[in-house]
Chains A and B, each alone.
Chain A
Amino acid sequence: NAGVTQTPKFQVLKTGQSMTLQCAQDMNHEYMSWYRQDPGMGLRLIHYSVGAGITDQGEVPNGYNVSRSTTEDFPLRLLSAAPSQTSVYFCASRPQGGTGYGYTFGSGTRLTVV
Chain B
Amino acid sequence: QKEVEQDPGPLSVPEGAIVSLNCTYSNSAFQYFMWYRQYSRKGPELLMYTYSSGNKEDGRFTAQVDKSSKYISLFIRDSQPSDSATYLCAMTRNNDMRFGAGTRLTVKP
Count of chain A residues with a beta carbon within 8 Å of a chain B beta carbon: 27
* A58 contacts the other chain (CB 8 A): yes
A43-B99 in contact given A90-B43, A101-B34 (Cβ < 8 Å): yes
Partner of A56, one of B32, B49, B95, B97: B95
Residue of A nearest to B31 (CB): A101
Closest 8 CB pairs of A and B: A105-B43, A102-B46, A43-B99, A42-B101, A42-B99, A101-B32, A107-B43, A105-B44
Overall SS of chain B's interface: strand
- Size range of the chain B interface in the assembly: 20 to 34
Residues of B within 8 A of A92 (CB): 43
Pairs across A and B, CB under 8 Å, 22 listed: A4-B43, A31-B95, A35-B99, A42-B4, A42-B100, A42-B101, A42-B102, A43-B88, A43-B99, A45-B96, A45-B98, A48-B96, A59-B96, A99-B51, A100-B49, A101-B32, A101-B49, A101-B92, A101-B97, A103-B44, A103-B97, A106-B43
Overall SS of chain A's interface: strand
Contact in complex: A42, B49 (CB < 8 Å): no
